[in-house]
Amino acid sequence: MTVTLADVAARAQVSPATVSRVLNGNYPVAASTRERVLKAVDELDYVLNGPASALAAATSDLVGILVNDIADPFFGIMASAIQSEIGGPGGRAGGERLAVVCNTGGSPERELTYLTLLQRQRAAAVVLTGGAVENEPHAAAVAAKLTKLTDAGTRVVLCGRPPAPDTGAIALTFDNRGGGQRLTEHLIGLGHRRLGYIAGPEERTTTRHRLEGHRAALAAAGIEEDPRWTVWGRYDRQAGYEATLELLRRDPSLTAVVAANDSVALGACAALRESGLRIPEDVSVAGFDDLPFSVDAVPALTTVRLPLAEAGARAGRIAMGREEPPPGGIATVGGELMVRGSSGGPRG
Amino acid sequence: MTVTLADVAARAQVSPATVSRVLNGNYPVAASTRERVLKAVDELDYVLNGPASALAAATSDLVGILVNDIADPFFGIMASAIQSEIGGPGGRAGGERLAVVCNTGGSPERELTYLTLLQRQRAAAVVLTGGAVENEPHAAAVAAKLTKLTDAGTRVVLCGRPPAPDTGAIALTFDNRGGGQRLTEHLIGLGHRRLGYIAGPEERTTTRHRLEGHRAALAAAGIEEDPRWTVWGRYDRQAGYEATLELLRRDPSLTAVVAANDSVALGACAALRESGLRIPEDVSVAGFDDLPFSVDAVPALTTVRLPLAEAGARAGRIAMGREEPPPGGIATVGGELMVRGSSGGPRG
DNA sequence: AGCGTCACAGCAAGCGCTTTCTATACGGTA
DNA sequence: TACCGTATAGAAAGCGCTTGCTGTGACGCT
């Protein structure tokens, strides 16, 4: 049998109410009584029953963080930043909040399942990171769920994800389109005219926005795009490797490869090298995100830096109600072009 | 006001008990009744109250995963694997379990705090990943906490962490010592005699074990170690970069650098390159873990592959009671030496 | 001396669900 | 027809905590 509040109360010779108040520190208790209670708590090794407490108080100290892929540093960095802003003081009982990271694996169903689970647990806040899936029924289902969450008083923040209108969710959106555009403009400025593009999973907003930026830059420069120049794949190294091989097969005259993100770019580099091509002399490569390892690639990766940690921290603070949400509930976070060794003028 | 079980019951014209039984599916309910209830649930958008359910049933579907640094793929990969084994069916109510990842940031206090929080929530299981801190009072406190958790019926699994004797916790330990030893043996076999070592944070078991393996290999080869050859730092790229510069300053004649892990090794490579040294012609470099990016380094990193995903998956299954714990509650998971381009014979 | 004020402490009513035990209806059997 | 097993539904007692409200002395004021 576990120790309950009542046991502590008995031992300290006070009522359960008093013990609760000592533990929560939200009601005046005489110092001597408090001490007696704390002593009893200590002696009995009492641990509060979370569910009971949450039930009675109708609140919980859970904060959910949804990520697409926990093994990907892109999400890890954001999650870490969010969590660092949540762990601290601010809530009930001295304010330790349990920040939980939920890995959806990019699956819409799991996303919904986790949202329901968090709703069940009456989470204090939920932060959704990364791109959304562009699938009408699913998007509607998520929007409905988010609305219900915000209605129930749960603060919902989207970090690196497009706004969800009319759901009450605060959005911190990455300017993927603008970043993609500037990146390709840079390449075009170097003289490239034949650019391959390795896109991410087709149904993701992030994928679409980055690609749109790329195409906008192409269009602005009057470059007509060849459909063979775009290949779709996952957001990982392996996909980049394979896609690059495919790109090379389709059109060996490409002088640059733009990847959906840094991991993909790394795979692209590997494929190019194995094909006997030099970077950037033969082919330039560009990534996106500027993850920590990108600067260590050889040559270092030209990419777009997204302030993942900063955005995550801000999302965390907003989720905790410690920072004002942006006006209109929407803020756009820009990316910064990082020109490094992997991009140069085209050969010849 | 949120919808409660009673509301659903009223709408379906049955008792709350029946609704509960339909939802949990653990008691015979006539098909027609079940349908009526499900319809009401649907119409009212009813969501079970997690805390209330957990309180009444005296169980919870929370599973905690503790990691040192969620932004580090080393932990991300393990967490991902653990979680993938936990999400599935197996528990109450169709069995969705909420796997929560808690980021301790390597801090002993946060580790304890999280364990307490999980204990409060009456977690079904807890998996602790990564090396432990070697600090007597803290280790004792953690051991006591783990004992209490296992006593309370929570399954505790250590993944990539040394065993915690007499706590009831199951341990899946990485053979860091053996891996470190084989790695250094490989370097010695290539002819290296002057090896720098970049160790991780001093108080971690992982750090100590890897270093012990390194030294064992040195000793076996009759190489006397120079204290200047060991530098300590964090487990990240930056630390590796700085440590390598320091190593070079202390003894420019080193022909190999062994790093505490792959991230550190990447930093080491950067520092060497910037110092005008070629890898592996001038200096060989070796890492540990074989994270996904390691094969993409140029040259590809010689390292020790740890089966993070496999070990994590196994830990997850054990935590869920779906796999027998190893005999004695302890299993050692070996590493595999991956010889790649970053190691070669010493110059001259 | 009489009374309003404080500062504390306790009582008791839930919070929303699960589950044991009991009630009922039905069909079959003797 | 009387009886009993089976299948299903309901009543009600909590699970362990929080909190609004109700004392109850002690103190200071007029």
Question: How many other β-carbons are positioned within 10 Å of the β-carbon of residue B38?
Answer: 15
Rg of chain A on CA atoms, in Å: 25
Which class is domain B5-48? mainly alpha
Candidates B127, B264, B277, B293, partner chain A, best to mutate (most A CBs within 10 A): B293
Please tell me if residue A219 touches chain B, with a CB cutoff of 8 Å: no
The CATH homologous superfamily for domain A176-306 is: Response regulator (3.40.50.2300)
Which DSSP string corresponds to B46-98? ----HHHHHHHHT---EEEEEES-TTSHHHHHHHHHHHHHHSSS-SSGGG--E
Question: Closest to A237 (Cβ–Cβ): which among B60, B102, B296?
Answer: B296
Instruction: Confirm if B196 and B258 have CB atoms less than 8 A apart.
Output: yes
Bridge partners (DSSP) of residue A286 are A258, A302
Could you check: is the Cβ of residue B6 within 7 Å of any atom of nucleic acid strand C?
A: yes
Q: Which tens digit of pLDDT belongs to each residue from B16-67?
A: 999 999 999 989 999 999 999 999 999 999 999 999 999 999 988 899 999 9
Candidates A101, A102, A104, A269, partner chain B, best to mutate (most B CBs within 10 A): A101
Give me the mean pLDDT over the B69-96 stretch.
77
Distance of alpha carbon A162 from alpha carbon A181, whole angstroms: 18
Among residues B31, B32, B42, B41, the alpha carbon closest in space to that of B9 is found at: B41
Higher pLDDT, A196 or B86: A196
CA–CA min distance A221, chain B (Å): 33
Burial of A84 (0-12, 13-18, 19+ CB in 10 A): middle
Q: Which helix (H) or strand (E) is A255 found in, with range?
A: none
| pLDDT at residue A144, rounded to an integer | 94
Half-sphere exposure in the Cβ direction for B160 (13 Å, CA): 29
Question: How many other β-carbons are positioned within 10 Å of the β-carbon of residue B67?
Answer: 28
| Start-end of CATH 1.10.260.40 domains in chain A | 5-48
| pLDDT at residue A332, rounded to an integer | 98
**Topology of the domain covering B176-305:** Rossmann fold (3.40.50)
Q: Which tens digit of pLDDT belongs to each residue from A266-300?
A: 999 999 999 999 999 999 999 999 999 999 888 99
Q: How much is the mean pLDDT over chain B?
A: 94
The residue with tokens 């079904």 is B124
Lowest mean pLDDT, pick from B56-60, B77-81, B196-200: B56-60
Q: Any residues with CB less than 8 A from the CB of A227 and at least 6 apart, and which? A: none
Could you check: is the Cβ of residue A20 within 7 Å of any atom of nucleic acid strand D?
A: yes
Distance of alpha carbon A177 from alpha carbon A212, whole angstroms: 6
Q: Which tens digit of pLDDT belongs to each residue from A13-52?
A: 999 999 999 999 999 999 999 999 999 999 999 999 999 9
| pTM summary value | 0.92
The CATH homologous superfamily for domain B57-174+308-333 is: Response regulator (3.40.50.2300)
Please tell me if residue A270 touches chain B, with a CB cutoff of 8 Å: yes
Q: Which tens digit of pLDDT belongs to each residue from A103-156?
A: 998 899 999 999 999 999 999 999 999 999 999 999 999 999 999 999 988 999
Q: A89 pLDDT exceeds 50? A: no
Chain D bases closer than 7 A to any CB of the protein: 7-12, 14-20
| Start-end of CATH 3.40.50.2300 domains in chain A | 57-174+308-333, 176-306
| Start-end of CATH 3.40.50.2300 domains in chain B | 57-174+308-333, 176-305
- What is the bridge-based pairing of β-strands A303-305 and A336-338? antiparallel
| Chain B residues with beta carbon closer than 8 angstroms to that of A99 | 102-103
CA–CA min distance A122, chain B (Å): 7
Q: Which tens digit of pLDDT belongs to each residue from B288-321?
A: 999 999 998 889 999 999 999 999 999 999 999 9
